[in-house]
Amino acid sequence: MSDTTIRMAQLRKRYGTTDVVAGLSLGIGPGVTGLLGPNGAGKTTLMRMLATVLAPTDGDLALLGRDPADPDERTDVRRRLGYMPQEPGFHRQFTAFEFVDYVAILKEMTDTRARHREVRRVLETVGLGDVTGRRIRKLSGGMRKRVALAQALLGDPQLLVLDEPTAALDPEQRMRFRELASELGGERIVLVSTHQTEDVAALCQRVIVLRDGRAAFDGTPAELSGLARGRVWIADGRDERAQLWWRTAEGRHRHVGEPPPGAQLVEPTIEDGYLLLAGPAVVPEGLAA
Amino acid sequence: MSWHVQSELLERYARGDADGAQAFSVEAHLPSCPQCRGQIAALVDGAVLQGAWEGIEERLDAPRRGPVETALMRAGVSEHVARLLGATPALRLSWLLACALVLAFAAWAASRHDGGVYWFLVLAPLLPLAGVAVAYGPDVDPTYEVGLAAPMRSFGLLLIRALAVLVTTTAMAAIAALALDGLHWSAAAWLAPSLGLTLASLALATRMSALAACASLGALWMLAAGVGWHLAREPLVLFGAAGQVTCALVAAIAAFVLARNADSIERRGGMA
């Protein structure tokens, strides 16, 4: 039986003197795993290493039981990999169909008829069956994201690495993505890097929070929100003792931190847990106490 | 709907045995009659219907072939390789037209001035070099990152694109050379430098980006051509026997380096 896990031990990526990924040791199995973290936390660097497009500086990495440092094993991993980069590039003169078809050729699908059938399948899966012939430069940002997702689904890969797949999607498209990712996550490894805590809450069985290249948290979404239990309160005015605070739509102030006596505690969300963990690094200047 | 197609005619139509007029009549009737559509649906072989739908979708979705892709397929290149080559910036019509203009100007200059052939010979090997520079890499290929994660080897893609660029520009330069005054041996003296520079650029691309490799070699070639002229007081010194042998040697060494480092372009691009 083939290995369906990702294993990393003391994985490190250094640029100059900075460790962008600083000795991560994790095992990831089938299901949807979310990667959260502020900008610069090392999410994209980690995703690129897991997609075999960036080599670690140090440490061990095994993808689906293969060593990506070995050329033949790396090719074997890539045959079972779907990768959606954070900023996918397109030949803009291509139509959606032509672009996905082009990537399918890079994925060694050389039989024209079977390849076109597969291209149609993935475009329909992401809800673009009606615009297959439209040029990419005429598609909206959300549609382009879905084209990028479609190419990642080619060949029904066992390992899906999706870097910020929900950015630029409208709420309805995000719902469809969550449904799709949830379906895919049954027997496959689906790694989703995102800034959207609600995406993680809705579709991930596991969440890893990265900070400064290290795993600051590894657990379920419920455990992440549980970190903030008893540490989130609402008040009419700003409380200087809070670790973080922000003004809500109702004009009151939501605080995260050690509550003062008598504070009006509220049920924490996954965002509260994440903010408490990530701290001021994820909050715009001025909001952090 | 006051009438329906007879069952016997529907059966013949479904088998493909109805004559032209009958088939036309059935086809005109079916879109407006759910009852007949329901009846014929049970008569049609599902696999045949699926095949027909696929055929229609195939016609609607089939990627358009550009002139370069069409020409490559006519020359016997397989469909998927032609598509990969068709997306090469250095094989687009605009690029090829620019190359043709440069060569035409160089051939015209060569026929108008004494020593003009020098400029033609210096220029001709630079065209495939420029083509290789924009054939593949993070700076010129928007799908580079996605391509790196695909099983097709980056080196293989660069190689087939470079080969196509070399063949195309060599053919264009050869035609331009025929326009030079008098068919002298020197009209073909750019061939070995062209091969040597192109292979050297690919060998260097195992250590740096193709763009940087080609730019460095282009500058080096221009410098060598200028210095050679200045030192020997003979513009074509670089294209003499010694120069040709040197270029052939460079090509052989570069081919050897390439063969030994087939994986390093990919490793440099990512898995270093």
Task: Give the nearest partner residue to A101 out of B63, B270, B272, using CB atoms.
Answer: B63
Chain B nearest C-alpha distance from A102 (Å): 7
- Residue A87 sits at the vertex; the CA angle it makes with A85 and A91, to the nearest 5 degrees, is 100
Round to whole Å and give the CA distance between B210 and B140.
Answer: 10
Contact A202, A44 (CB under 8 A): no
Under DSSP, the state recorded for A107 is T
Tens digit of pLDDT per residue, chain A (289 long)? Answer: 567 799 999 999 999 999 999 999 999 999 999 999 988 899 999 999 999 999 999 999 999 999 999 989 999 999 999 999 998 888 878 999 999 999 999 999 999 989 999 999 999 999 998 898 999 999 998 899 999 999 999 999 999 999 999 887 888 888 888 888 888 888 899 999 998 888 898 889 999 999 999 999 999 999 999 999 999 999 888 888 888 888 888 888 888 888 888 888 999 999 999 988 876 544 444 444 4
Which chain B residue shows the shortest CA-CA distance from A58? B272
CB-based burial, A185-203: b 16+ in 10 Å, e otherwise:
beebbbbbbbbbbebbbbb
User: What residues 85-124 of chain A have any CB closer than 8 A to a CB of chain B?
Assistant: 85, 88-92, 94-95, 97-99, 101-103, 105-110, 112-113, 115-117, 119-120
Q: For tokens 């870097």, name the residue.
A: A163
How many residues appear in chain B?
A: 272
Name which of B58, B87, B145 is nearest A91 (Cβ-Cβ).
B87
B141 token code pair: 């290929």
How many angstroms from the chain centroid is the CA of residue B161?
6
- Give the tokens for residue A277: 């963990």
Neighbour count for residue B143 (Cβ, 10 Å): 20
Q: Where are the domains of chain A?
A: 1-80+157-217, 89-156, 225-282
Cα(B184)–Cα(A46) distance, integer angstroms: 60
Q: pLDDT tens digits for A21-67?
A: 999 999 999 999 999 998 889 999 999 999 999 999 999 999 999 99
The domain spans of chain B are 7-61, 67-269
Nearest Cα to A178, choosing from A151, A198, A148, A154?
A198
Residue labelled with tokens 């290995």 = A3
Interface ipTM:
0.85
Q: Does domain A1-80+157-217 have CATH number 3.40.50.2300?
A: no
**Chain B, nearest residue to A74 by Cα:** B151
Give every CB contact of residue A218 below 8 A, 6+ residues apart in sequence.
A26, A206, A207, A208, A209
Q: Cβ contacts (< 8 Å) between B152 and chain A: which residues?
A: 105-108
Query: How far apart are the C-alpha atoms of A253 and A143, rounded to whole Å?
Result: 37
| More confident: A274 or B92 | A274
Rg (CA), chain A: 21
A52 touches chain B (CB under 8 A): yes
* Confidence check: pLDDT of B235 > 80: no
Instruction: Tell me which range, A19-33, A234-248, B112-126, B192-206, is most confidently predicted by mean pLDDT.
Output: A19-33
- pLDDT score, position B270: 44
Residue A78 corresponds to which tokens in the numbers above? 């890539």
Cβ contact A53–B269 (<8 Å): yes
Segment B121-129 mean pLDDT: 89
Q: Which residue of A has its CA nearest to B87?
A: A91
Over residues B44-70, the mean pLDDT reads: 81
Q: What is the pLDDT of residue A183?
A: 87
The answer to whether B143 contacts A103, with C-beta atoms less than 8 Å apart, is yes
A253-256 and A81-84 strand pairing: unpaired
Which residue does chain A place closest to B59, by CA atoms? Answer: A116
| Residue that the structure tokens 């097709």 belong to | B152
Structure tokens at B199: 């292979």
Please state the φ and ψ torsions of residue A37, each to the nearest 5 degrees.
165, 155
Whether A104 contacts A115, CB under 8 Å:
yes
Q: Could you tell me which chain A residue has the CA closest to the CA of B157?
A: A106
| Cβ-defined contact of B147 to A105 (cutoff 8 Å) | no
- Please give the Cα distance from B92 to B69 (Å, whole number): 10
Check: CB of residue B26 under 8 Å from CB of residue B13.
yes
The pLDDT value given to residue A1? 52
B63 and A97 within 8 Å at the Cβ level: the answer is yes
pLDDT band for position B118 (cuts 50, 70, 90): confident
Helix (H/G/I), strand (E/B), else coil: B213: helix
For chains A and B, count residue pairs whose Cβ atoms are closer than 8 Å.
Answer: 107
Mean pLDDT for all residues in chain B: 85
CB atoms under 10 Å from CB of B97, counted, come to 10
Q: Is the pLDDT of residue B271 over 60?
A: no
